[in-house]
Structure formats: C-alpha cells, structure tokens
Structure 1
C-alpha cells in the first residue's frame, strides 16, 4: 500500500496545478475560522456569528463538516486532473511497462482518494477542536466528543465523491469534461426524480425515496444542512409559526449506500481500465 501511495504522491508533488488546488482547498478549510470574525451591525441590530452558538460543542461537528464539504470540488479537480495527466503524459502506460498491474494502478488511485479524505477529516477535526475550545459555551469532555459521527459521515462522503470523480476521470480522460459530467449527472438525478414523481410513480415522496439511492443524492443526505438546527433560527421560526421537523442525525443506511457506490465506482474503474486498449 505504501509503495503505491508513494508513487501517487511523487506524481502529485511534481504537478504544480495539483499542489495549488490542494493548498487552496486546505486554506479554505482553515478559513472556516474566519466565520467567527463576521459581525453585522445594522442600526441597533448587532449580530456576531460566533456568539450565535455555531461553534458550540457538539453542534460544531455538524456545522463544520457541512461547511467543509462544500469545498470538496477543489480536491475533485485534483483527482480528475490526476487521471487526465496519466493519459496526457503517458505515465499510465509507462507504469504498466515498468511492472505495475492495472489492479495495482487502480488501488494506488483509491489509496490516494482515501488518504485525501482522511487528511481532510483530521484537518476539520483539528480546526473544530480549536474553534470549539475558544468559543463553545460547553467544554465538558462528554459534550465535546459527542456527535463525532458527523466526522465519519464527512469521511465517507469524500471517499464516495472522489471515487465518482476517479471513475469519470478514467472514463472521459479529460479533467474539464469529467467535472462537467459530474454536473450533468447531478442534473440527471433531478430529472429522474421529476420523471418518477410526475409520470412513473406519481408520488413525490416515493420519488424522493428512490432518489435517495442515487450516488450524489445519497452523499448529500449524509450531512443534512445544520442552519435550521441552530437555536436562534428555531426561535425565529417559532415566532412566525414555523417548526422544523428534520432528522439531523447521521443515517447508517446512507453510509452503507455511499460505501456501496464507492465500491461500484472503484470496481467499474478497474473493469474500464482492464478492457481499454492503452
């Protein structure tokens, strides 16, 4: 495993675009801390986001993992460009000539995907711990380390998303088109949902239940938006007669669905590479 990882990171080290995108990505993860400095002063109304409880334990795990997952597209570009470069610079063919099997080649990419996801998760954990210890009103250990399942969901979400990107990178061979294909697939999921709800099952709840099994939707469902869970938002909603009934917990079923899709994408990548004439 370490030999294959070493090969991948040696390639990334000599790719300037990948280095820049990685730096931007981790810089954006760090920028979550800047939210604490955001203040609004409109007449007598004053709002300091850090004082609204967004960095309170254990809510911070939910808020930070959801926010950090928005930036995953920067690492997606690294993953798909990693595959595009293999074709452009013919390093794939050279690796196979040098004795690397196609299975080992796909495993090296998968190990890189898992490593990126793991490092991102550790990074978010550290940022969240620091911000929480500074701003949280609750610092008991039992509270600090509750709701850590959001970190697990974040890790699984990144593995699934990057595995999908890896598959598209192998399928299309061009990074820009691979990212475009990801966007097209996102729209396709909504199209499937619309057709199911309007014509096929004629029931929007059933259509949504089916849509939940599609790759991007299942990844999105791992971490539900945290905004409506915030106490201040609930208070405002109750004043206007609205109540939120969302289930914000991490669903084990969703984790299994995303892991299944991750396995499908990696296996499909291997089959595609195995049958392709290089």
Structure 2
C-alpha cells in the first residue's frame, strides 16, 4: 500500500496545477483565522466577530469543520484531474502494462483520497486548537475535547465526497465534463429536494427521510450549519419574536453509515468500470 500511495502522491506533486490547487486549499483553510480580526461598525455599535463565541470550545469544532468543508471543491478538482490525467497522458495503461492490477490502481486512488481527507482533518484539528486556545472563554480540558465527533464527520464527509469525485473522473474521463457533471448533479439533488419538500410533502418533514439517502445531501447532513447555535443569533431571534430554535445539530450514527455506504458504492463502482472497460 505504501508503494501505491507513493506513486499517486508523486503524480500529483509533479503536476503543477494539482500542486497549486492543493497548496491553495490549505492556505485558504488558514484564512479561517482571519475571521478573528473582523470588526463591523454600525454607528456606535461595534461587532467583533471573535467575541461572539465562534472560537469558543467546543463550538469551534462545529464551526471550523463546517467552513472548511465548503472549500473541499479545491481538492475535488485535484481528484478529478488526477483521474483525467491518467487517460490523457496514458499513465493508466502504462501502469497496467508495468504489472499493476486494476484493483491495485483503484486502491491507490482511494488511498490518496483517504490521505487528503486525513491530512485536511489533522490540519483543521491543529488550526482549531490554536484558535480555541487563543480566543476561547472555556479552556478546561473536558470542554476542549468535547464534541470532537465533528472532526470524525468532517473526515468521513471528505472521504465520501472525494470518492464520488473519483468515480465521476473514471466514468467521464475528462476533468471539465466531470466537474460539470458534479455541478449538474448538485442541481438535480436540489430539484429533487425542492419537489419533495414543497410539492409532495408540503405539510410534513417526511421528505427528509427520503432525501437523506441522496449522495451529496447525505454528506451535507453530517455537519449542519452552526450559525444558529450562536447566542447572539438566538438573542436576535428572541428579540424579534421568533420561535425557539429546535434544530438538531448532532452528528448521527445513521448519517455516518449512509455516507460510508455511498463511499463503498463509489469505490466498488470505480473498480467495476475499470474492470469492464477496454483500456
């Protein structure tokens, strides 16, 4: 496995575009720290973002993983391009000629996906820990390391999403069309969710029992938006007479299982495509 992973990482690092996109992704993640410097002045009222509790433990684990997950599309381009380049440069056929089996080829790609997700998760853990220790009002060990299931959800979310990108890259071969398909699929899921929510089940939440099994939606459900958890938002809702927020922010085991199932489907389907395809 070490040999397979080493081959893939060398391919990515020697590709200038992939190298720039990968570095850009991690550089952009560090920009989360810049949120601490944002101050909004409205007349005599000054709002300092860092003082609103976004970097408090354990809330920071939820906030940072949610924000970081938005930037995952940078690495999605790398994953899709990684597969497209195999066809464009003929390296896939050459690897098979050199003795690598199709199973080993898919395994090497999946290992790369897991490494990207793992390194991203470790990066967010370190960044969140530094920001939390710098700005959090709560520094007790028990509080610092509570609610860390969001990091697990983040890792699984990235692994599932990158596996989807890998499958699309193998299916379509060309990176531009593959990324276009990813965009179109996102729209298709949005249409399905809208129809079920507003037309089929307008007076109930039963639509969520169905849409939670859609691939991108299932990944999205792992980490829901954290903003309405902030006390300042809750105070505003109370002030304007809004209803109590009963939103469920937890990471659920069944959401994890659904994404893991999709990950297995994408990887096995990738292998099936390569196995049946005449290269």
* TM bucket normalised to smaller: over 0.9
1:153-201 CA deviation, whole Å, 9 max, x = no partner?
0000000000000000000011111111111111111222344456666
What's the RMSD between the two structures over aligned residues?
A: 1.3
Structure 2 gap segments, 5+ residues each: none
The total of aligned residue pairs comes to 278
Deviates more, 1:125-134 or 1:181-190: 181-190
CA deviations on 1:29-60 (whole Å, 9 max, x unpaired) are 11100000111112201011001100000000
In the other structure, the counterpart of 2:52 is 52
Whole-angstrom CA distance in 2 between matches of 1:79 and 1:203: 40
Cα distance in 2 between the residues matched to 1:38 and 1:232: 16
What's the counterpart of residue 166 of structure 1?
166
In the aligned structure 2, how far is the partner of 1:176 from the partner of 1:76? 12
Bigger CA drift: 204-213 or 141-150?
Answer: 204-213
Partner residue of 2:227? 227
CA distance in 1, matches of 2:204, 2:80: 34
Aligned to 2:255: 254
What does residue 273 of structure 1 align with? Answer: 274
CA shift digits 1:137-167 (9 cap, x unpaired): 0000000000000000000000000000000
Q: TM-score, normalized by length of structure 1?
A: 0.97
Measure, in 1, the Cα distance between the counterparts of 2:171 and 2:201. Answer: 32
Distance of aligned partners of 1:197 and 1:30 in 2 relative to their CA distance in 1, 3 Å threshold: closer
In structure 2, how many angstroms separate the alpha carbons of the residues matched to 1:78 and 1:225? 26
Equivalent position of 2:153 in the other structure: 153
User: What residue number does 1:186 align with?
Assistant: 186
Q: What SS class does the counterpart of residue 54 from structure 1 fall into? A: coil
1:208 is matched with 208
Partner of 1:79: 79
Bigger mean CA offset, 203-212 vs 180-189: 203-212
In the alignment, what sits opposite 1:102?
102
CA deviation vs aligned residue, 1:126-145 (integer Å, no higher than 9, x gap) = 00000000000000000000
TM norm structure 2: 0.97
Deviations 1:191-246 (A, max 9, x none): 22344456666765222220111100000000010000001111111111122110
Cross-structure match for 2:92 = 92
Of the structure 1 ranges 83-92 and 241-250, higher mean CA displacement relative to structure 2 is found in 241-250
Q: Distance in 2 between matches of 1:72 and 1:201?
A: 32
Q: What is the CA–CA distance in structure 2 between the aligned matches of 1:197 and 1:148, rounded to whole Å?
A: 32
